[in-house]
Structures are given as C-alpha cells and as structure tokens.
A and B are shown apart, each in its own frame.
Chain A
Amino acid sequence: MSLQILQGTLDLMILRTLATMGAQHAYGIASRLQQVSDDTLNLNQGTIYPALVRIEQRGWTRGSWGKTENGREAKYYAITKAGLKALDEETERWRQMSGVVEKLLAEEQ
C-alpha cells in the first residue's frame, strides 16, 4: 500500500523530523520520512521543496549551507524557537483532529 500525503501534514512531519534529528538537508528529511513510513509513503522527493520554503518563510526554520560527512555541500535546515512552538501547536491540532476522526470511525463500526 502506498500513502498519499494528507494535505497540510507535510509541514508537521518536516518540523517533527528536524526537532528529532537536528539540522538536516532536504534529502535527509525526505529519506527520513520514507524510512519512518517503511517506504509506504509515496513521495517524490521534489515535492518537499514548496513545504521547505513555506516553513522557512514563516520563520520556523533557518537554512544554511554546510558539508555532509562525505564532503558534499548541502543546504541544512535547522528548526528555530518559533518552529518548536509551531510544532507544539501543530502537533496538538493534529492530535485533536485525528482524535475526532478516530472517534467518528469507531462509532461507524
């Protein structure tokens, strides 16, 4: 089974990834998402770019160029304080939302 990304959840997933793993480049984030989903997430890696620029413009991450372990250059995104706060809020919102959905589905059965 392959999963489509739910509208608006990509921002949350990226923020969570950065909060857990520290600063990461786009490839790192994409790999992490695929890994976590056990490769069920159908993600063209290019699709995370709009989310990255959106989050950065909101001030939730800060991008800077650096080197990978293998000496390749890459743009690293680090989560900011505002990003951490936003992560909390977004997480809370997601929990509430998925709770509601869960509840509805439970009642159906």
Chain B
Amino acid sequence: MMRLRRTVAKLRNLLANKHAEEDLAREIVSHLTLLADDFERSGMSAEEARLAALRALGGVEQAKQAHRDERSFLWIEQALQDLRYGLRTLSKSPGFTITAVLTLAVGIGACTAIFSLVNAVLIRSLPYGDSSRLVYLYTPNLQFKLPAEVFGPTYADFYDLKRESHCFQEITAFDQSIFSLASPGAAERISAARVDGDFFRTFQSSPELGREITPDDNQLGHEKVAVISHALWQSIFGSAADVLRRSLLLDGRSYEIIGVMPQGFEYPHNTDLAYGESQYKTTQVWIPLALTPQQMADRENARGNAVARLKPGVSIAQAQAEMATIMVRLDKLHDPQVRGWGALIENFVDTAVGHVRSLLWLLLGAVSIVLLIACSNAANLLLARAAGRVRELGVRVALGAGRSRIVRQVITEVLLIGLVAGAIGVSFAYFFLRILPLFNPGNIPRLNEASLDLRVLLFTIAVSLFTSALTGAFPALAVSRLNLTDVLASTGSRSVAGAHNRVQSALIVVESALVVVLLASAGLLVRSYLNVESVNAGFSQSTVTLNIGLDPRDSQPQAVQFFQNLFARLQALPGVETVGAVSNLPLSNSDDLRMFAVDGYPNQKGQLAEMRWATPNYFSAMRIPLIAGRMFTAEEKSGVHAVIINQSFATKYFAGRNPIGGRISRQDDPAQWSTVVGVIGDVRHNSVEEPAEPQIYHPDMEFGGGYIAVRSSLPAKPLAASIRAVLHSLDPNLAAGAIRTMGDLESEASAPRRFQTSLLALFAAIALSLALVGLYGLMVYSVSRRTREVGIRMALGAQRGDVLWLVLKKAAFLLAIGLASGLVASWFATRAIQALLFGIGRHDPITILSVCALLAVSGLLAAMIPTRRAASIDPMQALRTE
C-alpha cells in the first residue's frame, strides 16, 4: 500500500516534473531567506548573511538533485533524457537517420508483408471448429498409376465405412456440380456442392439464416432445397430478409432456399480438393446429394468426396488402420477385374495448404535474408557514425557519464530507429497487401484474407526490436570498449576506427554472400520461368475457347441441333476461319482418363490414356499438326470406330510399328476395336510443365456440350463480343463461361510460377540494392577516414591511378570473399528451390556466372563513386584535415 502510494507519487512527479521543480526552487529560496534573516539578526551584514546561509544549506544544486532523485524514478528520467538526446542527435544528421530508417523499414516491411500472408494461409485457423481433427478419406488403387487423391470412396464403400468404423465423430460425403444459375438480367455459372445430411454437422458450421441440409432433405422427392452463400445472398437477393421464402433456378429447376451460410463459409474452395472443380474459386450453393438406391449401392463407379471428423484423442494412424481393415473386406465385394482398393486418410488442413506451405516458408526465408542485410547495413551506418562521434562520447565520459549510460544512449537511438522503421515498414506492408490480390496466382488459399491483424502487428514489433538489438549490438559493444585516455590523447579517432573497420568489412562480406544466395535462387527461378514460357504446348495461343453446357432439360437431339446451329453461326462470323469442339480442352482442368488395350501390345492392367471426343475441325482450330495418316472428316459417322492418337501414344504403344491401321479397344466394350486413322502432335493437357500423356481422340459428330475452339484472324476481344452476341441471340438464358484464348489459359496456368518468381526476384533486387548502398556507405566512410593518408601519399608523388587502386582494392577484396562464400552457401541453399526448377539444374553455370558478374560489376561501380572522390583529393587540403 505504502509502496504503491509512493510509486503513484513518483509517477505523478515524472509527469508534473515542471511543477515539482518550481515548487522545490521556491522552497529553497525561502529556506535561504529564513536562514539569512536569522544570520542578519545575529549581527551579520546582508551579504555575509547570504553567504553564510548558502554554506549552511550545503550546496543548492546537490540539495536539489537529492530531492529529484528521491521524488521521482531516476531511470525513467534518464531514459527520457536519452530519448530527447537521441531525437536531437538523429535529427541533426538527417542523411544518416533517413538512410538507416529506410533500410530497416524495407527489411521489416518485406518481413511483415510475407508474414501476414503466412498468417492468413498457414496460421489463422479455418472456420470449421477444431479443424485439426478433420480428415479426407480415400480408397486408392495402386493398379492405376494415378495419385491416391483421385479416388474418393464409392458410395457403397462409403456407407459401409460409415456403418463399421468407430473412429469418426461425424462423416460426410459430397460431390460437386456446375450449374447455370438464372439471375435477373443474365444467367451465370456457379459451382455447387451436393451434400449429404451430415455435411454441415461435420464442418461444425451452421447457417446465419434458416436451417442446414438434413438427412430428410436427402430423401428422394424432398431434395429441391438449397442453402446459399452469404455472397450470393448479397449479389442476387440484395440481402433481402425474406430470402427464405424465395427460390433459386438451377439449370432451369427450382430449389427452395432454406438457409444462408455466414460469410467465410464457401467450402469447398478450388484449392481444397486436389481433383475437384477448379474453374470456380468458391462454392456458392449447397443442395442435397439425394442419392438413388442404385447409386448408394454402387461399388464401382459412383464416387464422391469423403470428409470426417475424428473422435477426440483418435489419431490419423489409428483411423487409417481401422479403415484399412474394413477395406480389406470391402475389396472382396468389388468387381474381380479391378480389385486392390486400399485405405488412405489425410489431414484436412495439410490437403488445403500443404502445396503452398513450402513456397511460403521459402518466401519467408528470402525476406529474412533481406532483413539480415538491412540490419547489417544499418549496423554499418551506426558504426561509421559512432567512429565519427568518438570524441563527443569521450568528452561525455570525461564529464562523468557512466559507461553504461553511454551504451544505454546508443541502444536508445537504435531502438528509436528500429521502431520508426517498424512503423514505416507496416505501411509498406499495407500497400503490398493492397496490391497483392492483383497478383493472386489462384493456388494460394485465402490469399485475399491476408491482413495486418494483431498477430502480424505483434510480429512486426518483435521483428523491430530484434532488428534494433541486432543492429545495435556492434556499435554498443564498440562504444563500451571505448578507452578514454586513448580517445583524448589521439588527435583523431584512428585507434578506434581500426577495430570498427574490421567489423564493418566483415558485415559487407556477409551481406554480399547473402545477396549471392538470393540472386542465385532468383536467377534460377527466372531461368526456369523463361524455360516454361518457351515450351511449345502443342496448340495455338491465339485460339479463342469457351465452355458451354446445356441444361439437362434439353433432350439430346435438341442439344445437338443447338450446337450445329451455333457452329454454323460462328463459322459465318467475319474473320472466323475454323470452329471446332472437344470434350476436354487442354489446361481447362478437366480430364477423362480411360482404360484401353492395344492390339499386338503387351497390355497391362489399369493402363490409362486421355480419352477425348472431338469434332473434325477441332485440330485445325487449335492448330494441332497432323503427323501421319488423316484427320477426321465430315463423313465420319459417330459410332464408326476411327480414332486419332497423339505422338506419345504412337511412340509408346506402336513402337517400331506403323500406328495407322492399328487397333485399340474401348474400355466399355473390349470386344469392339477402333482403328487408328491418324497421328497428331503432342498436346500438354494438365500443365505446360508436364510432358504430354498418351491421348486417344474419338470423332464426335453429335457434339452435345463441352469446349468450343474458334480460330479467327480477328483479335480476341471483338471476337469474344461477337460470340456472346451470337449466344445471346440463340438462347438469352444460356450461361456461357469465360471466353478466353489458349494463351490466357497458359498464362493462368503459369501464374503460380510467375508469382513465386517475381516475388523472389523482387526480394533479390531489394537485397542487392541494400548491399550496394551498404558498400557505397562503407567506401565513403573509409575514404573520409583516409583523406589524410591519401593526401600524404599524393604529396609524396603517388599518381591518381595508384590512389584509386589503393582504395578500390579493399572493395574488390571484400566483394571477392563475399562472392566466394556466397557461392558455397548457394551450392547448398538452392536445394530449397530444387522442386521449383524447370529445365535447368540447381547448379546451372550460366545463372551462377551471371550472378557473379552482376554482383562484381555493380559492387565495383558502387565502390567507384566514392573512390574517385578520393583520387581527386587536393593534397594540401587533405593534409590540413583533422
């Protein structure tokens, strides 16, 4: 209590210091007056009395100081003094202060920006309750050389697993569908999830309005209900309160709206499912899965995605073991031709973010290097300045400032710089986050949710403090070793400067080594990107494509009629050369893998090829070249089994034979053979970066929906507009997907690579410029230190060239050591980006040589500028300095 009262009083005095100080001065004057009065009364003269009073009081200033020490917190007062002093000295050398602050701000800003991304993607928890207990269930089959995640359980397997397992608290099955959603004005395509009655319970998410989809809704005849997303509620219904009394038209069918999900629930996203609908980023509508009894009993074909929530305390390994046991029994119920269905359980969060985790850590590593460089730069600046201030500090020590007080002064300054830099860094990060969505590569979940929340700000403060500590360590150490007699005895500050210089040089070496690592990594990624760009994917970039799916209410003949009509109208557009269509377009994230057998080839179980149905004009619309045989003709009857294969297929299955006339079976009818009539060039389907897979094309004379490819001499934009006009005139309620060129699709597919490459290149560029600024600063400093020496040398007859070399020699030496150690470090560090390289090794000599050349040339240039100044020193003036 007493202590508290004193503390409060002390704090009050700290704030009301001026008042306390005035009161004390007044009290002491009064005290002296009273003393002097008494002395006068005892017979002294006024002057004698005044002096006697002063003597009796025993030192006015000491009394005041004793009073001050007692009444307030000394250390806070001193800290405030340090702060004021620091602000004053920093503002007295604005050049130094601005450079140091901006250097650190760049480092801290980059760190904050990337950390906010990491925070949004990896750290912030998903809005599905305890998401660490959520898992995906797969039933992989090793027979097919396909990733395990392709195989969600078939519905028969799913319901058996659900019945027999004891590890899951909830388990749900769902599938995805694309619908045309009729909205006022125009139709649009949206992605919907068809979910069973346990879906929302499994995700522990409930609607903000209305109710969720229940098992009752999944009974056939009750399934025309829908839960919509918050975004859809806003965009289509204008957030109307009576939305629950309205309905939704999906593919022409009416669904009664029973609920609205809260903002943030749009599961599944395109990044959630490895093999889900990837064209649409989020899910906007949830409707009942409503399986028919046949589908529920289907053990071979009908399959969905399965998500479960583990019971508390159950590990993934335990659940997986149990599931494996059950699958051993279920496998025996499968078609004897295709057995070997296993069990795999994967962590939900890892599936959602696993693929970007390494990228984000890589970026965080890169910005940490930038921050380290920034720190050593600022440390160098401080050291240079400390050397310049040696006399000032020496004088302060001589006047009685304690050594610890001097060190504290240095730390206060560094903290000031660090915190100001942190504040500026946060604003850098803010702008970075504002423009980040423009570069969204599409494969980073929740990238748009990256923001400066409390955790990020705490991180920034921690980084700023850490930065200050790192930056201040060397100068503080240097100052604490300051030897008073040395300083005051020497005319200059050479003695101290010598030691400083070694530390500064070491820092430059470390900086350039770090820069080499970053430059080499960025260089390798840039080269990889160029390699990817130069890949020939096998089709024309300028072909304009669109995806059209008709409502199922249109019968097959009507659909065929519609497309015949559409093709004719498009063909008639001015400038259009060819119109073709295909079931699965390259880079559209749609695929159709089927089993087949080749006549005269040792066929293996589960061998798969990309199966396509194409109209005769498709190949010429895409400019896919014919290599042998012929294309499909207009006379090709659907059902007559002519097929076209690609080069890869011919090489693999018709090695040493003429593929033309060869026979290929179809999975659904092994007895029926198709005859190869042509071989076309390879087309990269899944990604530009993966080699082409074997493909089989069937002629499609009765095209009823899929991808349309249009080749034209017109630019893409006006062509897209006229295509839309044609579509609208044919059917105003038809929702066409985006109209894009193949080049757009390619660019979209390489967006993740572009994203990581440009970010790393940006950080490498920042690192390089920071290091150059650092080197420049060091050279300026060392030239100014050596002005006298240079003057003497020149007076003794040294040539300009000699002097130039004398100073430059040091920069070249430091750069060489930095380069060499940087190359050694890169040799190991580039392992981190190994997986991201395309078409080059991680020790690519061209990249390494370019990096060396870049650093050497720019480094020497940065060093040259101050050195030239040294060479132009006037000897007479130089000798007079110091």
Give residues in A with beta carbon < 8 Å to B: 25-28, 31, 44-47, 49-50, 53-54, 57-59, 68, 70, 72-75
In the bound complex, do residue A49 and residue B35 qualify as a contact, i.e. CB atoms below 8 Å apart?
A: no
Could you give 30 example pairs across A and B, Cβ below 8 Å?
A25-B34, A26-B31, A31-B38, A44-B56, A44-B58, A44-B63, A45-B31, A45-B35, A45-B57, A46-B57, A47-B58, A47-B66, A49-B28, A49-B64, A49-B67, A53-B70, A54-B6, A54-B70, A57-B5, A57-B6, A58-B5, A58-B6, A59-B2, A70-B37, A72-B30, A72-B34, A72-B37, A74-B27, A75-B26, A75-B30
Q: Closest CB of chain B to A14's CB: distance in Å?
A: 13
Q: Chain A nearest CB: distance from B23 CB in Å? A: 8
Candidates A27, A28, A47, A74; contact of B63 at CB < 8 Å: A47
Most buried by A among B23, B57, B62: B57
Asked if B70 and A27 make an inter-chain contact with CB atoms under 8 angstroms apart, the answer reads no
The reply to whether B57 and A44 contact each other, CB–CB distance below 8 Å, is yes
Counting CB contacts under 8 A, is B500 at the interface?
no
Chain B residue with Cβ nearest A82: B2
Interface residues of B in 64-107 (CB under 8 A from A): 64, 66-67, 69-71
Given A27-B34, A68-B34, A72-B34, decide whether A45 and B66 contact each other with a Cβ distance below 8 A.
no
Q: Decide: B30 and A44 in contact? CB cutoff 8 A.
A: no
CA gap between A73 and B29 in the complex, in Å: 10
Closest 9 pairs between A and B when the two form their complex, measured CB to CB: A44-B58, A46-B63, A50-B70, A57-B9, A27-B34, A49-B67, A53-B71, A50-B66, A74-B30
- What is the distance, in angstroms, from B86's C-beta to the closest C-beta of chain A? 29
Whole-angstrom CA separation of A27 from B37 in the bound complex: 11
Kindly identify which residue among A44, A53, A59, A75 contacts B67, using a CB–CB cutoff of 8 Å: A53
**B-to-A contact residues, CB < 8 Å:** 2, 5-6, 9-10, 23-24, 26-28, 30-31, 33-35, 37-38, 56-60, 62-64, 66-67, 69-71
In the complex, what residue of chain B is closest to A44 when comparing beta carbons?
B58
Q: How far is the CA of A50 from the CA of B10 in the complex (A)?
A: 13
Instruction: Name the residue among A44, A46, A74 with the largest chain B CB count within 10 angstroms.
Output: A46
Contacts of B31 in A (CB 8 A): 25-27, 45, 74
When chains A and B are docked, how far (Å) is the Cα of A95 from the Cα of B38?
Answer: 35
Contact yes or no, B6 A25, CB < 8 A = no
In the bound complex, residues from chain A placing their C-beta under 8 Å from that of B64 are 49
Name the B residues within 8 Å of A70 (CB-CB).
37
With A46-B60, A47-B58, A50-B66 as known contacts, state yes or no: A58 contacts B2, CB within 8 Å. Answer: yes
A91 → B minimal CB distance (Å): 17
A96 smallest CB distance to B (angstroms)? 20
Which B residues touch A50, using CB under 8 A? 66-67, 69-70
| With contact pairs A46-B63, A50-B70, A72-B37 given, residues A25 and B57 touching in the complex (Cβ less than 8 Å) | no
Across-interface contacts of B57 in A (CB, < 8 A):
44-46
Q: Determine if A46 and B62 form an interchain contact, defined as CB atoms under 8 angstroms apart.
A: yes
Main secondary structure on B side of the interface with A: helix
Closest to A53 in B: B71
Bound CA span A59–B1, Å: 11
* Chain B residues, CB < 8 A from A72: 30, 33-34, 37
Residue of B nearest to A49 (CB): B67
Best-buried of B31, B33, B62 by chain A (most CB within 10 Å): B31
CB distance from B473 to the nearest CB of A (A): 38
Q: Is the CB of A73 within 8 A of B67?
A: no
In the complex, A106 Cα to B742 Cα: how many Å?
Answer: 110
- Which one of A47, A53, A73 contacts B30 once the chains associate, using CB atoms below 8 Å? A73
Complex CA–CA separation, A50 to B5 (angstroms): 17
A51: min CB distance to chain B, Å: 8
Other than the given A44-B59, A72-B37, A75-B26, 8 more pairs (CB < 8 A) read A25-B30, A44-B63, A46-B62, A47-B63, A49-B70, A58-B2, A68-B34, A72-B30
Query: Do B27 and A26 have beta carbons less than 8 Å apart?
Result: yes
Q: How far is B2's CA from A49's CA once the two chains are assembled, in angstroms?
A: 20
**B71, A57: Cβ atoms under 8 Å?**
yes
Task: Write the nearest CB–CB distance from A74 to chain B, whole angstroms.
Answer: 5
In the complex, A72→B32 CA distance in Å? 11
Q: Give chain B residues whose Cβ lies under 8 Å from the Cβ of A73.
A: 26, 30
| Cα–Cα distance between A70 and B30 once the two chains are bound (Å) | 12
Tell me the nearest residue of chain A to B29, going by C-beta: A73
A27 touches B35 (CB 8 A): yes
Complex contacts, B69 vs chain A, CB 8 Å: 50
Q: List B contacts of A53 (CB < 8 A).
A: 67, 70-71
**In the complex, what residue of chain A is closest to B27 when comparing beta carbons?**
A75
Q: How far, in angstroms, from A70 to B36 measured CA to CA in the complex?
A: 13
How many angstroms from the CA of A32 to the CA of B242 in the assembled complex?
89
- Once bound together, how far apart are the Cα atoms of A105 and B57, in whole Å? 35
In the bound complex, how far is the Cα of B35 from the Cα of A70, in angstroms? 13
Instruction: For A43, give the chain B residue with the smallest CB separation.
Output: B58
Q: How far apart are the CA atoms of A43 and B265 in the complex, in Å?
A: 79
The CA-CA distance from A47 to B28 in the complex, in Å, is 12
Q: Complex Cα distance A28/B62, Å?
A: 20
CA distance A53 to B6 in the complex (A): 10
A31 to chain B, nearest CB (A): 8
Instruction: Considering the complex, give the chain A residue whose CB is closest to the CB of B35.
Output: A27
* B385: min CB distance to chain A, Å: 39
CA distance A2 to B673 in the complex (A): 126
**Which chain A residues lie closer than 8 Å to B56 at the CB level?**
44-45
B34 surroundings in chain A (CB, below 8 A): 25, 27-28, 68, 72, 74
A22 to chain B, nearest CB (A): 17
Q: How far is the CB of A29 from chain B (nearest CB, A)?
A: 10
Expressed in whole angstroms, the minimum distance between the Cβ of B31 and any Cβ of chain A is 5
Residues of B within 8 A of A27 (CB): 30-31, 34-35
**Chain A nearest Cβ from B504, distance in angstroms:** 47
Q: Which residue of B lies closest to A51 (CB)?
A: B70
* Residue contact A57 to B10, C-beta cutoff 8 Å: yes
- Cross-chain contact A46 with B37 (CB below 8 angstroms): no
Chain B residue nearest to A26 (CB atoms) is B31
* A26 to B67 CA separation, bound complex (whole angstroms): 13
With both chains docked as a complex, state the minimum distance between the C-beta of B566 and any C-beta of chain A, in angstroms. Answer: 92
In Å, the complex CA distance between A70 and B37 comes to 9
In the bound complex, CA of A44 to CA of B56 (Å): 6
Which residues of the other chain, A, contact B9 by a CB distance below 8 angstroms? Answer: 57
- Nearest chain-A residue to B69 (Cβ)? A50
Q: What is the CA–CA distance of A47 and B60 in the complex, to the nearest angstrom?
A: 10
A72 CA to B35 CA, complexed, in Å = 11
Bound-state Cα–Cα, A70 to B41, Å: 12
Q: Inside 8 A of B10's CB, which chain A residues have their CB? A: 57
Whether A49 and B30, one on each chain, are in contact in the complex, defined by CB atoms closer than 8 angstroms, is: no
Q: Is the CB of B70 within 8 A of A46?
A: no
Q: Complex Cα distance A57/B10, Å?
A: 8
The chain B residue sitting closest to A74, CB to CB, is B30
- CB-nearest residue of chain A relative to B70? A50
Q: Considering the chains assembled together, what is the distance between the CA atoms of A54 and B9 in angstroms? A: 10
Contact between chains at A46 and B66 (CB < 8 Å): yes
Once the chains are docked, how many angstroms separate the CA of A75 from the CA of B25?
11
Docked complex Cα distance between A46 and B38 (Å): 17
Considering the chains assembled together, what is the distance between the CA atoms of A25 and B37 in angstroms?
14
CB pair A49–B63 under 8 Å, yes or no, is yes
CB distance from A27 to the nearest CB of B (A): 4
A58 to B37, CA, bound (A): 32
Q: Of B33, B37, B58, B70, which contacts A45 at CB under 8 A? A: B58
**Complex interface: chain B residues within 8 A of A58 (CB):** 2, 5-6
How far does the alpha carbon of A70 sit from the alpha carbon of B27 in the complex, in Å?
16
Give Cα distance in the complex from A58 to B38, angstroms.
31
Which chain B positions have C-beta within 8 A of A59? Answer: 2, 5
**Chain B residues positioned under 8 Å from A25 (CB to CB):** 30-31, 34
Taking CB atoms, residues of chain B closer than 8 Å to A57 are: 5-6, 9-10, 71
Provide the bound-state CA to CA distance between A74 and B30, in Å. Answer: 6
Q: Residue on B with the closest CB to A34?
A: B56
Contacts of A26 in B (CB 8 A): 27, 31
Q: Which residue of B lies closest to A65 (CB)?
A: B26
A68 to B33, CA, bound (A): 11
From residue B79, how far is it (CB to closest CB) to chain A in Å? 21
Q: Which residues of B contact A54 (CB under 8 A)?
A: 6, 70
Chain B contacts of A28 at CB under 8 A?
Answer: 34
Q: How far is the CA of A45 from the CA of B9 in the complex (A)?
A: 24
